[in-house]
Chain A
Amino acid sequence: MSYNWNWGIFGSPVPTGDTTYLGWMLSGLQTTILLSLSAWVIALALGSLMGVLRTVPHKGLSGIAAAYVEVFRNIPLLVQLFIWYFVLPEVLPFGLGERFKQDLSPLAQQFLSAMVCLGFFTSARVCEQVRSGINSLPRGQKNAGLALGFTLPQTYRHVLLPMAFRLVIPPLTSEFLNIFKNSAVCSTIGLLELAAQGRQLVDYTAQPYESFIAVTLLYLLINVVVMLLMRVIENRSRVPGYIGGK
């Protein structure tokens, strides 16, 4: 295969002259990390809430949570992103959509849509992890809490959730890793995150292999850091007597 390798490309200035191609990559890395972390906050908060609702002994509430999960888990991420970014501003009432499009900068519009989309999508998955965590606890724990005079919310707060969260840390790690990888989808609405910067570098320099190798390594780097971090949390929060505990 006739390919001209040029690793020096990362050091050369971009056409506008204000940075190098490496600078583009790093700014993409920064956007990916910021986007994923903020989406993860949404996902964890909403997912925990919905996970709890799925297990409460109330048909209406658990039904709402179940519907929520089915909607956000069964529509492809790309479709959801297009709905948040392209469709929602067109159908929002009271001119809100128009204000969203005119008052915010394009970057803010892209970032907000992407953050909310990734957050909601992942929250449906987090919800299922939390639910399975709660359901995996022996029923006696809940009954014991109630028998001691705790109200149902207190039983969740002091008995069930502290156990459930510690049990589901390994599957939550997978979701946390997924959110970084899924964030690459957001390049399709023009958000210049890591994958988009990598593609842009190909378009500008015609050096696809260097670019894709660099992007791969950077995603790998993010995920190794996340994995190590989660392993520390996992070790510190192990429940004695349970799987992996001492």
Chain B
Amino acid sequence: MSCIRIPSLAALALCASLVPPAFAQESATLAKIKSSGTIALGHRESSIPFSYYDDKQQVVGYSQELMLKVVDAVKAELKLPALALKLTPVTSQNRIPLIQNGTIDIECGSTTNNTERARQVAFSNTIFIIGTRLMTKKESGIKDFPDLAGKNVVTTAGTTSERLIRKMNEEKKLGMNIISAKDHGESFLTLETGRAVAFMMDDALLYGELAKAKRPADWAVVGTPQSFEAYGCMMRKDDPGFKKLVDAALAKAMTSGEAEAIYKKWFTQPIPPKGLNLNFPPSDAMLKLYKAPNDKPFE
């Protein structure tokens, strides 16, 4: 966790006490940020290329850059150019409770906006759209989901892919053995060691794993996408003032072309830590999103 502190906290406290709390009524989060002079950001540790640590232990990634655009907007809105950032790493298990109990104010990583989660937290404008597909060995002969009948398939625990493939197995009686690995790295290890013939996951993350593989040329991403998912930034529920500000900041980044430049940087160019290139051009859905930002989930 890194914490950038400004030296003159006393001066800041003085400023804060002079300015009337204009946002207190509109947004509890903005009021909290203003009174503490700090915004608490949640990030992931190994969600490549969305939010992860680079070789200098700095948080980088596509989602992280977009989150910093939001921070800029908060600074401008509160007229607090010296706003301190408090970065907290989160996991897929603790991210929702940490938002709810106020440890973090906003999280941008690779969190899917869905109806179950929307009962607990609020989601910003969508920042990324993925499709769920398969990674397999090039010579495995697997081209699409029906080819998986009777085989071992791995997916990461707690993901939409896990849900979809279990449902498909049940409904179409494919007789697959489904392995739920702890994280994407372990899923790929299960695939690499031959325990499973295919790995079902969000396509962007599959490309991320492929770029880390020992022999990237051995693997291929195949299959018709089984679902589309919208990643969003998470915030506390029932705080329309803060959500409006975040949505506006993201929409501005998308319509102005900044977001597309960030996309190109993280998905079509070499990225840290190893200088790998994911070679994952923007999908039609992404280009459409950049033209018309929205916060609609797919499920």
Query: Contact between A16 and B92 (Cβ–Cβ < 8 Å)?
Result: no
Query: Contact between B181 and A190 (Cβ–Cβ < 8 Å)?
Result: yes
Query: Using a CB-CB cutoff of 8 Å, which residues 15-51 of chain A contact chain B?
Result: 15-18
Query: Contact between A2 and B238 (Cβ–Cβ < 8 Å)?
Result: yes
For A16, what are the chain B residues with a Cβ–Cβ distance below 8 Å? 166-167, 170
Query: Contact between B100 and A206 (Cβ–Cβ < 8 Å)?
Result: no
For A207, what are the chain B residues with a Cβ–Cβ distance below 8 Å? 120
Query: Contact between A208 and B96 (Cβ–Cβ < 8 Å)?
Result: yes
Select one of A98, A106, A190 contacting B182, CB under 8 A.
Answer: A190
Query: Contact between B193 and A86 (Cβ–Cβ < 8 Å)?
Result: yes
Query: Contact between B182 and A90 (Cβ–Cβ < 8 Å)?
Result: no
Q: How far is the CB of A15 from chain B (nearest CB, A)?
A: 5
**A200 interface contact, C-beta 8 A:** yes
Select one of A1, A18, A189, A203 contacting B102, CB under 8 A.
Answer: A1
Q: Interface code A93-104, partner B: CB below 8 Å = 1, 0 otherwise?
A: 000001001100
For B120, what are the chain A residues with a Cβ–Cβ distance below 8 Å? 3-4, 206-207
Select one of A3, A18, A200 contacting B158, CB under 8 A.
Answer: A200
Select one of B117, B152, B162, B238 contacting A106, CB under 8 A.
Answer: B152
For B194, what are the chain A residues with a Cβ–Cβ distance below 8 Å? 98, 101-102
**B189 interface contact, C-beta 8 A:** yes
Query: Contact between A1 and B182 (Cβ–Cβ < 8 Å)?
Result: no
Q: How far is the CB of A208 from chain B (nearest CB, A)?
A: 5
Interface residues on B, range: 35 or more
* A1-B100 CB under 8 A given contacts A16-B166, A101-B193, A106-B177: yes
- Majority secondary structure, B binding face: mixed
**B101 interface contact, C-beta 8 A:** yes
For B205, what are the chain A residues with a Cβ–Cβ distance below 8 Å? none
Select one of A4, A196, A208 contacting B157, CB under 8 A.
Answer: A196
**A105 interface contact, C-beta 8 A:** yes
Q: How far is the CB of A4 from chain B (nearest CB, A)?
A: 6
For B162, what are the chain A residues with a Cβ–Cβ distance below 8 Å? 203
How many angstroms between the C-alpha atoms of A109 and B193 in the bound complex?
13
* A15-B101 CB under 8 A given contacts A4-B119, A189-B182, A206-B120: no
For B182, what are the chain A residues with a Cβ–Cβ distance below 8 Å? 187-190
**A192 interface contact, C-beta 8 A:** yes
Q: How far is the CB of B196 from chain A (nearest CB, A)?
A: 8
Query: Contact between A109 and B195 (Cβ–Cβ < 8 Å)?
Result: yes
Residue of B whose beta carbon sits closest to that of A208: B97
**B179 interface contact, C-beta 8 A:** yes
For A187, what are the chain B residues with a Cβ–Cβ distance below 8 Å? 182
How many angstroms between the C-alpha atoms of A41 and B180 in the bound complex?
28
Q: Interface code B153-181, partner A: CB below 8 Å = 1, 0 otherwise?
A: 00001110011001100100000011111
Q: Interface code A67-96, partner B: CB below 8 Å = 1, 0 otherwise?
A: 000000000000000000010011000000
**A181 interface contact, C-beta 8 A:** no
**B116 interface contact, C-beta 8 A:** yes
Q: How far is the CB of B250 from chain A (nearest CB, A)?
A: 22
Residue of A whose beta carbon sits closest to that of B153: A106
How many angstroms between the C-alpha atoms of A152 and B37 in the bound complex?
75
**A204 interface contact, C-beta 8 A:** yes
Query: Using a CB-CB cutoff of 8 Å, which residues 118-136 of chain B contact chain A?
Result: 119-120
Select one of B158, B159, B177 contacting A199, CB under 8 A.
Answer: B158
How many angstroms between the C-alpha atoms of A106 and B152 in the bound complex?
8
For A141, what are the chain B residues with a Cβ–Cβ distance below 8 Å? none
Residue of A whose beta carbon sits closest to that of B166: A16
9 A-B pairs in the complex with CB atoms less than 8 angstroms apart: A1-B101, A2-B238, A3-B100, A15-B163, A86-B189, A106-B152, A190-B181, A199-B158, A200-B158
- A residues contacting B by CB (< 8 A) are 1-4, 15-18, 86, 89-90, 98, 101-102, 105-107, 109, 187-190, 192, 196, 199-200, 202-209
The 3 A-B residue pairs whose C-beta atoms are closest, nearest first, are A203-B158, A106-B179, A206-B116
